[in-house]
Structure 1
Amino acid sequence: MSFGFETTAAEVLDGVDLTGKRAVVTGGASGIGIETARALAAAGAEVTIAVRNTEAGERTAADLVADTGNKQIHVGRLDLADQDSVRAFAGAWEGPLHILVNNAGVMASPLARTPQGWEMQFATNHLGHFALAAGLLPALRAANGARVVAVSSSAHLRSPVVFDDIHFDVREYDPWLAYGQSKTANVLFAVEADRRWSGDGIRVNALHPGGIRTNLQRHVDIDALVRSVQEANGGKEIAWKTPQQGAATSVLLAASPTAEGVGGRYYDDCNEAAPNQPGTRTGVAAYALDPSAASRLWDVTLDTLHITL
């Protein structure tokens, strides 16, 4: 079966048995995170929803248990902007981890900084997820075949990682440039993490889920966003996906046999993305797959987080 724009997460995993597999989905209590967790649980995986709001997580878990019949759905507290929270979550994990879906994020938010002075979108979308994957690395290695999925966005086309001023200490803050930079960082993480970890049986990929109306856009003027994207694509109408369709590419990279052995790639619509063409907002930017930029970001991130791998 070929998968594409309209494919749902359930269709991707139709006939796939994930019994005995353990998964973590960050931001699993809203948007496409719920549908990612639902599809993995329906296929038999033990799923942990990692969320800031554990009450919302518990409600979601109860709904998923009722819907899938899978009672192995758990909730863990995780605030990606708080490195202590990330360390606590990873430190409490026991046993192997087969699937890590770095799904949570913030989009185009007003300027905010962590106590360390890090720009909030970069701190949450990249630094938090990097630290989480690093903290869970022993568990991923213990799986003897694991997949890490980084949910990026076509917004990565808005900005490369600006190494000279990642945290907008000098340049004027722009919420979309900050978001785009963080989403490029997600792709670069996949490139370098796969290069470093594939020898341990850990494959890492990134993806654009598509345009989905979710709570992620709470800081966004949707009408203005639609106009800007349409202008960038020559006036072409935006094709919106349902959350079930939006989770499909995440689930494909997380668990589908069709993605077996794939690593360091960027997918959209359940297939590897084509190179971006100038003047469009589709495909993947060359700078997001650049091995030298990926290696540089890795080193910068380790230095920022004061960790070694």
Structure 2
Amino acid sequence: MKTTKRARIVNLSSSAHRIGEIDLDNINLKHGAYSPLKAYAQSKLCNVLFTKELAKRVPGSNINVYALNPGLINTGLDRYVWSPVPTSLKPYLYLSPKMGSQTTLYCAIDETLDNDNCRRVEHMVSNAKNDTTARLLWELSADLVNLEKELRI
């Protein structure tokens, strides 16, 4: 990616990141800590923090990094994470998968983004702004996948 003229990394998050909490000592939510909603919210907070840390690790490069919330999309996730929404209400509450993918596609391919005109969220929850947690999560992730030290950005 560093050798291309311009590159983008787009990570999908969710507004659920707002309720996410990260326990770096129990990242896999073992020993009774797991619930579907807790795991989902934590994973989306991790996506925001990963993006934040990655952006700090590629400054001045040709790589732009984005985290986005595509909105509520009718993917069926509700049946696993929270109480299922009645089918009759879904068209009023959710975007179709086709419409829900538009934000992701925009971030991935629209050339005007190279001018950094994405809408920025200025009022992020404190969990999503924690530089220390972002760095520690990055290091933990690299350790968990046994990433060699010389390959770590």
Please give the range of the TM-score, normalised by the shorter of the 2 chains. Answer: 0.7 to 0.9
| Structure 2 counterpart of 1:254, from 108, 113, 128 | 108
Cα distance, 1:153 vs. partner? 0.7
Gaps of 5+ in 1: 1-139, 225-237, 264-269, 276-283
Structure 1 partner of 2:68: 207
Cα distance, 1:162–1:214 mapped onto 2, change above 3 Å: same
| Partner SS, residue 223 of structure 1 | coil
Give distance in 1, aligned partners of 2:145 and 2:116.
Answer: 28
Instruction: Measure, in 2, the Cα distance between the counterparts of 1:172 and 1:218.
Output: 20
CA deviations on 1:112-133 (whole Å, 9 max, x unpaired) are xxxxxxxxxxxxxxxxxxxxxx
Within 2, Cα distance between the matches of 1:271 and 1:242?
22
Residue equivalent to 1:166 = 27
TM-score (norm 2): 0.79
Q: Corresponding residue for 2:99? A: 245
Taking the aligned partners of 1:298 and 1:168, their CA distance within structure 2 comes to: 18
The letter for the 2-side match of 1:273 is V
Measure how far apart 1:154 and its partner are.
0.9
- Counterpart in 1 of 2:120? 272
For residues 203 and 252 of structure 1, the distance between their equivalents in structure 2, rounded to whole angstroms, comes to: 13
Could you report, residue by residue, the CA deviation over 1:96-149 in whole angstroms, capped at 9, with x for unpaired residues? xxxxxxxxxxxxxxxxxxxxxxxxxxxxxxxxxxxxxxxxxxxx1122310000
Higher strand share: 1
1:50-65 paired onto structure 2 within 5 Å = none
In structure 2, the CA distance between the partners of 1:155 and 1:217, relative to structure 1 (3 Å rule), is same
Q: Cα offset for 1:295?
A: 1.0
CA contact (8 A) 1:203 1:261 kept: no
Q: CA deviation at 1:253?
A: 1.8
**Structure 1 residue 262 displacement after superposition:** 3.8
Report how far residue 261 of structure 1 moved: 4.8
Corresponding residue for residue 131 of structure 2: 291
- The answer to whether the 8 A contact 1:151-1:208 is kept is yes
CA distance in 2, matches of 1:219, 1:143: 39
Q: Distance in 1 between matches of 2:59 and 2:104?
A: 19
- Name the amino acid aligned to 1:145: R
TM-score, with structure 1 as normaliser: 0.42
Q: Which has the larger radius of gyration?
A: 1
Deviations 1:253-309 (CA, angstroms, capped at 9, x unpaired):
21223422549xxxxxx732352xxxxxxxx42311322221111111111111031
Q: Which one has more relative contact order, counting CA pairs under 8 Å at least 6 apart?
A: 2
Structure 2 equivalent of residue 63 of structure 1: none
User: Are the counterparts in 2 of residues 160 and 181 from structure 1 also a CA contact under 8 Å?
Assistant: yes
Q: How many residues align?
A: 143
| Cα RMSD, aligned residues only | 2.4
Deviation (angstroms), 1:183: 0.6
Listed as ranges, the gaps of 5+ residues in structure 2 are 87-91
Distance in structure 2 (CA, Å) of the matches to 1:261 and 1:296: 30
Q: Which amino acid aligns with 2:102?
A: A
State the AA in 2 paired with 1:255: I
2:141, 2:115 → 1: CA distance?
Answer: 26
1:252–1:258 contact (8 Å) kept in structure 2: no
